[in-house]
A = this chain, B = another copy of it.
Amino acid sequence: MATRKLFRNLLEKGVNAIKSQQPFEAKATAAAAVAPDPHLTPPEPSGPKILTSVPGPKSIELKERLNGIQNTEAIHFFVNYNESQGNYVMDVDGNVMLDLYNQIASLPLGYSHAKLLKVMTDPGNTAAFVNRPALCVHPPGNWPDKLFSTLLHVAPQGLHQVMTMACGACSVENGQKVLFIAYRNRQRGGMPPTDEELVSCVENKAPGCPPLTFLGFKGAFHGRSIGALAITHSRPVHKLDVPQPDWPMAPFPRLKYPLDEFARENRKEEDMCLAATREQIEKYNNKGTPVAGMAVEPIQCEGGDNHATPYFFQGLQDITKEYHMGFLIDEVQTGCGATGKMWAHDHWDLKDGPDVVTFAKKMLTGGFYYKDKYRVKEGMRIFNTWSGDPSKVALLEASLNVINEEDLINNMMRVGDYLQKGLHDMQVRFPGVVMNARGLGAMCAIDFCDANTRDAAIRHLRNKGVHTGACGPVAVRLRPSLIFKHHHADIFFDIFQSVLKDLQK
């Protein structure tokens, strides 16, 4: 039986996740300096400024106050949002940090971008902010135009249906629902449901509520409502004590980095995972619990920034076609340009578009795209009161305009390349401390020798003015916003290097 103290640690990190510490080695090279482009950089501080430890005394005081009414263990620090600008977050103690986490990868243009502020002063948007509509019943007159000029404008290839939702979990749940409905429609051969189905479903019974299942991958994170949670398999903290359906889980590849250096071993690993996925589907189909769909993240973010190659995802799509399942790509964290393409799955060269693509975070509104063939023919089946929020779509519109005008998706590709090279340089210089540098565009990560060292690195980085996030058992993830430039990367590497040197001591 785990002790209470250990329980917290295990609950967060998972059993057997804490790697044993390895010896450190050191080398030193400075990251190449690249000049900022002042034309395209929004107003922001010239660099970090640290006045207190982080969290500082004011954050600690606020945390104690808030702790009276909710658990505050997850709070890093309290933020002065009025004074946070561009790539820099300022906490309530006046500490200014270069932000490489951005509200868990949720800010497309950093803090307080002028074009977003302008959305609020545009009289055409007032109503959207104050009179929140029930969008599926009483949409605003400009709603079709807004959806076409924003979400449809950047829709994944071949996906022409779209619904807005409040958040990522809700988007995943509704994407699953679309695929459950499609699976049953196919099983019925296009016939309407029987009276028995209509009656039984209201009582949670078959045949109306069918014994369908949905496949998720080990290491996945898709959200915390029960349907999204059932395909989430990363940490005990998300799932312990919550009843969950018996749905299949397949292994996600554990690749070696850099991917191209280990192409042969990685291919073998991916083939093994594809075969295991197939086995799981066969197993669940054969026991009368057909697998209606599969959800996968282009990068398993919460699970530790686990990558796979296009070959793997192509193979998954083939499997879904073979078994008449829906293929749901969860782009809640990877969508909106951070990988150097609008959607991470644009990197895969799929034969055919995915069936469902979910989004939230940097898209500012939640929602999902899906193919015309999965369109739900009856009203009110994919529905909720608010079904998203037009004020978020107004902010998305302004963001997409800036992203387009300033060519920020290509910026993510360029600065991502620079970040990846820099991280690789660090692992060469600090072997045994950091390893497995990896990334797709600017969504980068690096592993530490163990969880304690990783946690210490994040603390030290923060206290030196760089805010990053943990993911998986031993990784630090970088989630710059799209206005992150080479000179910001240089600031990060200077500080990262000094932290790694300290950790080596």
Contacts and interface: CB of A to CB of B under 8 A. Distances in A.
Interface string A193-224: 11101110111110011111100001000011
B209 A11 contact: no
Interface string A133-158: 11011111101100110001000000
A453 interface: no
A286 interface: no
Given A81-B131, A379-B74, A395-B130, A202 B148 contact: no
Interface residues of A, number: 146
Interface in A221-240: 223-228, 230, 233-240
A237 B378 contact: yes
A315 interface: no
Nearest to A366: B166
A169 interface: yes
A306 to B, nearest CB: 15
A84 interface: yes
Interface in A2-39: 2-4, 6-8, 10-12, 14-15
Contacts of A237: 378, 380-381
A79 B201 contact: no
Interface stretch (A58-66, A422-430, A432-440): A58-66
Contacts of A212: 241, 243
B170 A167 contact: yes
B1 A192 contact: yes
B201 A240 contact: yes
Contact of A104 (B104, B112, B144, B385): B385
Nearest to A163: B70
A162 to B, nearest CB: 5
Q: Of A3, A233, A360, A379, which is in contact with the most chain B CB atoms at under 10 Å from its CB?
A: A379
Interface stretch (A244-252, A322-330, A351-359, A404-412): A244-252
A370 to B, nearest CB: 10
Contacts of A493: none
A81 B128 contact: yes
Contacts of A193: 2, 7, 11, 236, 240-241
Contact of A75 (B4, B65, B138): B138
Contacts of A391: 129, 391
A44 to B, nearest CB: 13
Nearest to A79: B138
Contacts of A68: 160
Interface in A49-108: 58, 62, 65-66, 68-82, 84, 89, 92, 103-104, 106-107
B71 A243 contact: no
Contacts of A227: 225-227
Nearest to A197: B240
Interface stretch (A177-185, A260-268, A341-349, A494-502): A177-185
Given A69-B162, A81-B128, A233 B203 contact: yes
Contacts of A183: 241
A198 B1 CA distance: 10
A203 B133 CA distance: 39
Given A203-B249, A236-B201, A69 B139 contact: no
Given A74-B137, A141-B92, A236-B201, A195 B384 contact: no
A414 interface: no
Contacts of A126: 82, 112, 117, 120
Contacts of A360: 385
A386 interface: yes
10 contacts: A1-B192, A11-B378, A14-B202, A58-B141, A74-B383, A107-B132, A169-B170, A173-B225, A240-B381, A361-B385
Task: Give me the 4 closest cross-chain CB pairs, A-B, nearest first.
Answer: A73-B379, A81-B127, A226-B227, A7-B192
